[in-house]
Amino acid sequence: MSTSNAAPDYVRELRSLIGPRPVNFVGAAGLIQNAVGEVLLLRRVGAERWGLCTGISELGETLEETLRRELLEEVGLTLHTAELCTMLSPAGLSTIANGDQFYSYTAVFRVTGWSGTPTPDGQEIAEARFFAPDGWPPLTRLGSVARTLLDSAAWSR
């Protein structure tokens, strides 16, 4: 998650009040597989590593609503159903280029029903592609979590 220009309005307003001080952000990420078991991975503009569709929750939004909005905004997919797989707590304090600091809490969902063709928005997402599990590109932390989830016994239930 980032607090770039794509951040929700309330994040920009919060930052105008508190500056770069550490804050908690909650968000959602979606793990999507196609019919042949390939996983949808996204590469953000300016990034080298690939990860899941993810984003910060807007004020009052449920985590599933966050995922639904992010999938539509970032890659044009419509979410129909999703199951919560895990909740990630902070790996530590993150600091972005402008000095803003945050801890991120991310709900990772297994997307079980979706429609559309992944099309990067070109503003946040540069590429969106399905990858076979044995041919994944370099991954972000969330991408690595996706690999762990796919290998877990809980995934195949």
Question: Which CATH number fits the domain that encloses residue 96?
Answer: 3.90.79.10
Q: Which of 16-25, 52-61, 67-76, 88-97 has the highest mean pLDDT?
A: 67-76
What residues form DSSP beta bridges with 80? none
Q: Are 148 and 137 in contact (CB under 8 A)?
A: no
Is residue 3 in some structural domain?
Answer: no
Is residue 1 domain-resident?
Answer: no
Domain that holds residue 65: 9-156
Residue whose pair of structure tokens reads 């996983």 in the numeric block: 39
Q: What is the mean pLDDT of residues 72-100?
A: 93
Q: Residue 4 domain-assigned?
A: no
- For 120, the token pair is 């990067």
H helix runs in the chain, sequence order: 9-18, 63-75, 141-151
> How far, CA to CA in Å, does 144 sit from each of 36, 38, 49?
20, 15, 11
Is it the case that residue 92 has pLDDT exceeding 60? yes
28-69 pLDDT, tens digit per residue, is: 999 999 999 999 999 999 999 999 999 999 989 999 999 999
Could you give the number of structural domains in the chain? 1
The pTM of the full predicted model, rounded to 2 decimals, is 0.87
Contacts of 105 (CB under 8 A, 6+ apart): 24, 25, 26, 27, 87, 88, 89, 90
